[in-house]
Amino acid sequence: MKHGLTPLLAALGVLLFAVGCAGGDPPEIDCDTATVKGYAELGEAFAYCTQCHGATRADEGIALHTYELAVEHASRSERSIANGSMPPDETMPESLETDFYTWAQCGTPP
Ligand code: HEC
C-alpha cells in the first residue's frame, strides 16, 4: 500500500498532459518571417467550414463566407481549429491550418 500512490500519480500526470495538448492553443506565428496569405487565397481552408458556417447554414450563429465575417470570427476560429473541435468530422491538412493561423495572427489581410 505504501508504494501504491506513485504510479497512480504518474498516470494522472500523463493523463493531464494529454488532455492539455488536445485542448491546445494555436501555435504562435512569427509574422516577420511567415508567408501571409490573404483571405482570397484561403478558399481551400474555408471550404472546410462554410458547409456549416455559410450563407445557407450558420451553426452556432457563425458564418464565414465573406471576408468581413471571417475577420470577425478569426481568433475564435483559429482556436477551434487548434483545439481540434473544428472542423468536427474532418481533418484539415496541416499546411492549411498553418495558413489559417498565419492569416488570423498576421493582420487578417483580404
Ligand atoms: C459539419 C459542420 C461543421 C463544420 C464543417 C465546421 N463547423 Fe464550426 N461549428 C459547428 C457546430 C455544430 C458548432 C456549435 C457546436 C460546437 O461548438 O461544437 C460549431 C461551432 C464553431 C465555433 C464556435 C466555437 C466556440 O465556442 O468558440 C467556431 C469559431 C467554429 N465553429 C468555426 C469553424 C471553422 C473555422 C470551421 C472550418 C475550419 C468549422 N467551424 C467547420 C459545425 C461545423
Spans of all domains in the chain: 5-105
Give the mean pLDDT of the chain: 89
Please give the single-letter amino acid code of residue 36. V
Please give the single-letter amino acid code of residue 31. C
Q: Is 49 exposed, middle or buried (0-12, 13-18, 19+ CB in 10 A)?
A: buried
Q: How far is the CA of 52 from the centre of ligand 1 (A)?
A: 7
Report d(CA 93, CA 11) in Å as an integer: 31
Closest residue by Cα to atom 12, ligand 1, is: 59
Closest residue by Cα to atom 30, ligand 1, is: 77
| Sole residue written with cell 464565414 | 64
Q: Put residue 7 in one of left, alpha, beta given phi > 0 → left and psi -120 to 50 → alpha.
A: alpha
The pTM score is: 0.85
Q: pLDDT, tens digit, for every residue of 85-103?
A: 999 999 999 999 999 999 9
Residue that wins the pLDDT comparison between 79 and 11: 79
Ligand 1: which residues within 6 Å by Cβ?
Answer: 48-49, 51-53, 59-60, 62, 73, 76-77, 80-81, 85-89
